[in-house]
Amino acid sequence: MTQDAIAADRSSVATGDVLYSIRDLSVEYGTRAGEVAAVDRVSLDIRKGEILGLVGESGCGKSTLGKAMMRMISPPGRITQGELWFAGEDLMTVSEAQMREIRGARLGMVFQDPMTSLNPLSKIVDHLTETITTHEPSVSEAAARDRAEQLIGRLGLRVERIDDYPHQFSGGMRQRIMIALALALRADLVIADEPTTALDVIVEAQFLDLLRELRAEFDLTIIMITHNIGVVAEVADRVAVMYAGRMAELGSVDEVFLDTKHPYGQGLLRAVPNIELDGSDLYQMEGAPPNLLHTPSGCPFHPRCPHVMPICSEREPAFAEVTPGHRASCWLFQEHDGEGER
Ligand code: SF4
């Protein structure tokens, strides 16, 4: 896809309708040492037709947020508060049976390692046809196979390989099969959790191209959960940055990467390897990720922040708009009566 086409795609979703709305969501995990606040009062709207990159370091809560959106948090984890609205439906109030239907048919998830999601004893054709006939009992076996073959072909795999088993495919091919499973029931929203981690750069580039094509062809909305900033810059329309289970920054790719507001995001970008570096050391962020058993007071980034002010450890900044559509959770951009440089 050309850079112009990507830019046109991005602008077309800049003001799209909201497909999924997360409101004040918290998820905790019970441990012997206490409750871990993995997702902490997160609110986020996902627009129809967009690719949203959800980034942050390991343990920041991004995968937990993805699972919570599917209502797939299992004990010792639990959603402790908040609302999940999908296409106008309140997912926190539907039964588990209804949720299974929605999960299969309209919300799809692609995991980092597809082998954990594919039954090694079932052929690919069986995975696909069973998915279709279970959710759409009126579809015949022959029609389901037909649809499965079309999908496999569309995803760039040879149709005759539909009778192979998962272990006979490479990692990149298995990712495509996972997407085919999500598309078999015409999902509206696909949440892809670190889908490119196991892929080499060539296969990764092909996979990202495919995602963009599928978004256009199937009117898909995609959430790409990743720690790989390059992948997000390449494929996403908007970016949400998480830190310590909370939203740190949200905006278009250009806003978040070229006009980064939150000091954590600035540090992340400075730490990305760059071939233009003149032999100097790569930037290293001070400190370590927070222990979510004892999230730091106020702004959770304050123990590591190079711009920390007295107010930062005392009061939590709002996740407020800096410019229309560009939000950051940082006192540097909000009125306050505390001391320190502005
Ligand atoms: Fe740094 Fe304060 Fe902004 Fe937090 S609120 S990121 S500590 S300046």
Cα 129 to its chain centre, rounded Å, is 27
Residue 110 has pLDDT above 90, yes or no: no
Read off the pLDDT of residues 139-162 as tens digits, 9 standing for 90 and up.
999 999 999 998 888 888 899 999
CA of 271 to the centre of ligand 1 (A): 18
99 Cα distance to chain centroid: 20
Q: Is the pLDDT of residue 126 over 50?
A: yes
Q: Whose CA is nearest to atom 7 of ligand 1?
A: 302
Angle, CA 166 vertex, CA 163 and CA 171 arms, to 5°: 130
Which strands make up the sheet holding 89-90, listed edge to edge?
A: 34-47, 18-31, 77-86, 89-90
Kindly give the distance from the C-alpha atom of residue 168 to the centroid of ligand 1, in angstroms, as a whole number.
Answer: 49
Tell me the pLDDT tens digit for each residue of 60-70.
999 999 999 99
The number of the ligand 1 atom at minimal distance from the alpha carbon of 262 is 6
Q: Is the pLDDT of residue 9 over 70?
A: no
214 within ligand 1 shell (Cβ under 6 A):
no
Give the pTM: 0.86
Ligand 1, residues 242, 243, 285, 299: which to mutate, most atoms within 8 A of Cβ? 299
- Per residue in 116-132, is it b (16+ CB within 10 Å) or e — as a string? ebbeeeebbbbbbbbbb
Q: Token match 């800049």: residue? A: 14
Nearest CA to 245 among 23, 37, 28? 37
CA of 322 to the centre of ligand 1 (A): 14
With 90 as the cut, is the pLDDT of residue 3 above it? no
CA of residue 303 to ligand 1 center, whole Å: 9
Average pLDDT for 223-232: 89
CA-angle at 307, arms to 304 and 308, nearest 5° = 65
DSSP label of 197: T
